[in-house]
Amino acid sequence: MMFATPEEISGFLQAADWARAHHAPLAGDASARRYERLTRGADRAVLMVAPRSDDLGRFTRMARWLCDHGFSAPQILAAAPEAGLLLLEDLGDDLVSRLIAADPAREAPLYAEITGFLTALRALPPPDFLAPLDGPQLADLVRLTPEWYPTLSRDAAEALPAALQARFEALDDGLRVTCLRDFHAENALWLPDRTGVARLGLLDFQDAVICHPAYDLVSALQDARRDVSPAVEAAERARYAQQNGLDQSRFSAIYALLGVQRALRILGIFARLSLAMGKPGYADLMPRSWAYIARNLTHPALAALAPTVLAALPAPTPDIIERIKAECGLHPML
């Protein structure tokens, strides 16, 4: 992957009047991008350095759309997309996940804010530049999993996308909203000095799509990186359905299905991050995703899907996790 040279970064910051800023690294995400916090006196900003091949237009279009509608995505302060460089508003360090870890009593009210945000987001017509994520696309996304994660039966693994698509089409009620897609407590910040839905700061929304409203809700409540208490998950799923006039039973069925789809995809992504990109820590997160799969498959509406999933893939046992870690970084993508 090709990145901007130090000279290009220096020129970019010079043009943006941030050349004399102090640089400090920030924790990155699962992508190849890196982030630095810039400090210039009392002012702060975030420098994103992405591979030149990244389509930063998706990020900037979505950031501006969110800001234009009163949400707290970072403002774009300067951009050189051809070099993979963005200078962003710094929304701070108060990730929802960190706040809850420091004070578990904040879990319920913060997830209530997340539900309120998703209700406000669904009230807006999706922007016309977003692509749909419907049955065929949802099915196609899980094809990655048997490419990287062990299989029990190749035939069952190959049948899995079609089985998921069939269940989605059977349960689909036709509702479609803007979905940020990678929406969870480590991509959301609490901004108490702002008001209304602007109190929730948003990160990593460049893969936003038009999808069923249960997609982002299950992404937040069945978080691959942290355990959400069952009581909070149940309360917020019910709150979302009630706030938006949805049938609780029907909504719970497609919520469970999308929970299976997302967790299957995440197993493949986490395996790839370890095997191809040398990030073994992601393998340790696999049991949580598998637990979501197992729980969601107990929903009566998924009775026909469960045998295919369980025949296709093994649970991530300690032995499987150690085998993946032992091959960490040995299978780079070509």
Q: If you write DSSP's letter for every residue of 3-66 in order, what string do you get?
A: ---HHHHHHHHHHTT-TT-EEEEE---SSS-EEEEEEETTEEEEEEE--TTS-HHHHHHHHHHH
Average pLDDT, the chain: 97
Q: Do domains 6-89 and 96-326 have the same CATH topology?
A: no
Q: State percent of the chain over pLDDT 90.
A: 96
pLDDT tens figures, 302-314: 999 999 999 999 9
Assess whether pLDDT exceeds 80 at residue 31. no
Cα(275)–Cα(106) distance, rounded to whole angstroms? 36
Mean pLDDT, to the nearest integer, of 73-81? 97
Reduced to 3 states (helix: H, G, I; strand: E, B; else coil), residue 71 is coil
CB 197 within 8 A of CB 120: yes
Assess whether pLDDT exceeds 80 at residue 110. yes
CB 268 within 8 A of CB 144: yes
Cα(129)–Cα(109) distance, rounded to whole angstroms? 33
pLDDT tens figures, 314-323: 999 999 999 9
Mean pLDDT, to the nearest integer, of 54-78? 97
Q: What pLDDT, on the 0 to 100 scale, is given for residue 56?
A: 94
Residues found in the chain = 334
Assess whether pLDDT exceeds 70 at residue 29. no
Q: What pLDDT, on the 0 to 100 scale, is given for residue 226?
A: 97
Element (H, E) at 198: none
Domain 6-89 is in which class? alpha beta
Cα(134)–Cα(160) distance, rounded to whole angstroms? 16
Mean pLDDT, to the nearest integer, of 88-105? 98
Domain boundaries, the chain: 6-89, 96-326
Q: What pLDDT, on the 0 to 100 scale, is given for residue 298?
A: 98
Instruction: Using pLDDT thresholds of 50, 70 and 90, give the confidence band for residue 228.
Output: very high
Mean pLDDT, to the nearest integer, of 53-76? 96
Q: What pLDDT, on the 0 to 100 scale, is given for residue 32?
A: 83
Mean pLDDT, to the nearest integer, of 156-178? 98
Q: What pLDDT, on the 0 to 100 scale, is given for residue 3?
A: 95
pLDDT tens figures, 244-299: 999 999 999 999 999 999 999 999 999 999 999 999 999 999 999 999 999 999 99
Q: Which CATH superfamily is domain 96-326 in?
A: Aminoglycoside phosphotransferase (APH), C-terminal lobe (3.90.1200.10)
Residue 252 Cα distances to 10, 256, 326, angstroms: 51, 6, 39
DSSP string of 132-193, one letter each residue: B--HHHHHHHTTHHHHHS--S-HHHHHHHHHHHHHHHHHH-----EEE-SS-STTSEEE-TT
